[in-house]
A and B are shown apart, each in its own frame.
Chain A
Amino acid sequence: QQPVQSPQAVILREGEDAVINCSSSKALYSVHWYRQKHGEAPVFLMILLKGGEQKGHEKISASFNEKKQQSSLYLTASQLSYSGTYFCGDKAAGNKLTFGGGTRVLVKP
């Protein structure tokens, strides 16, 4: 069972904010976020562990609520370079990272 991401796609103007949500049906140890540019491999953004922590990468931050089995990725003051597909991955027992269906982000000038 893969995590569910929403929205499936979002279009932004440079400087605008967006939130991507990730919801899992499993009790989680951690949530991972990756970004994939067209024609390239996914690239790691951040890992969030139990404890409701928040992390940041440039002006991209994320939160993890393990009780609700949810994570959110926040794109703040978006830049053109933020365009791509964002994937969350959930990790329960073991080292099996299962990715959601992805959220396509397009940042326009």
Chain B
Amino acid sequence: DAGVIQSPRHEVTEMGQEVTLRCKPISGHDYLFWYRQTMMRGLELLIYFNNNVPIDDSGMPEDRFSAKMPNASFSTLKIQPSEPRDSAVYFCASSSQQGQKLFFGSGTQLSVL
């Protein structure tokens, strides 16, 4: 299996622009998680899905952030409009069932200028 695939690996954008991060989970995994990592706040859970349904989005910082999972093999995290404080590494992870280990993607390094 190719593992969790995220794109792009790096994204540099200007403040105010829309940013879309993409994730393809491991085939057969029912859970998908979006995490954000910064030096100041560490690894924060933004939102997670079970069977394509958002279960807990309490970590989504603001209305500027939205996430979708239209099918079992694809999820997006969108920031509109982006701000410099959104600069971080965004990780997507998936797991096969509740309580089991997470497999992380390589992450997207986002820089908002």
Measured between alpha carbons, how far is A18 from B91 in the docked complex, in Å?
A: 28
Which B residue's beta carbon lies closest to that of A45?
A: B101
Nearest opposing residue in chain A for B99, CB measure? A30
Task: Across the interface, name the chain B residue whose C-beta is closest to A34.
Answer: B102
Residues of B close to A87: CB separation below 8 A: 42-43
Q: Which residues of A contact B45 (CB under 8 A)?
A: 96-99
Interface residues on B, range: 20 to 34
Answer whether A47 and B104 are a contact pair too, CB < 8 Å, given A95-B50, A96-B48: no
B-binding segment of A19-27, A36-44, A67-75, A76-84? A36-44
Residues of chain B contacted by A102 (CB below 8 angstroms): 42-43
Is A109 among interface residues, defined by CB-CB distance under 8 A?
Answer: no
Complex Cα distance, B39 from A101, in Å, reads 9
Partner of A41, one of B48, B55, B105: B105
B31, B42, B56, B99: the one within 8 Å of A91 (CB):
B99
| Contact A94–B42 (Cβ < 8 Å) | no
> CA–CA, A44 to B106, complex, Å?
14
Contact in complex: A95, B99 (CB < 8 Å):
yes
Q: In chain B, residues 35-82, which have Cβ atoms closer than 8 Å to a Cβ of chain A?
A: 35, 42-45, 48, 50, 55-56
Q: How many Å from the CB of A56 to the closest CB on chain B? A: 15
A-B complex: 6 closest residue pairs judged by Cβ atoms? A41-B104, A44-B101, A99-B43, A101-B42, A95-B98, A42-B104
